[in-house]
Amino acid sequence: MRLAWIFPVFLASCSFGGGDRDDPELVTRGAVCGDPSIQGVVVGDVPGNGACGIADAVEVDAVGGVLLSQPATMNCRTARTLNAWVQNDMKPIVGDTGGGVRSLKVAAHYVCRTRNHKRGARLSEHSKGNAIDISAFLLRDGTDISVLNDWGTGKRGKILRQLHGSACGPFGTVLGPGSDGYHRDHFHFDTAEHRNGSYCR
């Protein structure tokens, strides 16, 4: 009997509590976007009102061995960009601070809405599956690096500055504290293409 195959399938069918999501080894739903370091499930087409929606969407649980605090719906381009940034930039920048990053605290992912929820504004990249918002980096020692609480203060504030800067290039848009009042407590990353290169504030 192929127990090595049955056991992961059994785990994938279980519903873990919030605490269990802190252990990357419990993410067993499978690889998506053709990359084993991106864990989640294939959702397929996500319909939306008007121009909202995602073609071939995925629901991502973890990237590069780092959990997301909630499953995040996005397209594969955004998932691959997030995965590459986590492995190539985030991990080296945070290093062994707090034992390293265990998970990303996701503030927002796919939602059909306008930019900053303003009436009459253009559609947000969130409405196309191109964006993810991160409010904190949860560390293995139980502490965190919080955009709201640590930006501009001490060692962790310096780390946040470096994380913000490193995302500019891999992502088409990077917004954080100082860009406007809407982003004082989180980083907004999206894969939109701009005529003059990445837009970072």
**134 beta partners:** 106, 187
pLDDT of residue 145: 98
- Alpha carbon distance 160, 189 (integer Å): 14
**Segment 5-26, tens digit of pLDDT:** 322 332 333 333 334 444 544 4
Greatest alpha-carbon span in the chain? 60
Supply the pLDDT for residue 121.
61
pLDDT for 48 equals: 87
Give the model confidence (pLDDT) of 44-87 as tens digits: 999 988 889 999 999 999 999 999 999 999 999 999 999 999 99
Segment 152-192, tens digit of pLDDT: 999 999 999 999 999 999 999 999 998 888 899 999 999 99
| Assigned token pair, 54 | 């995602």
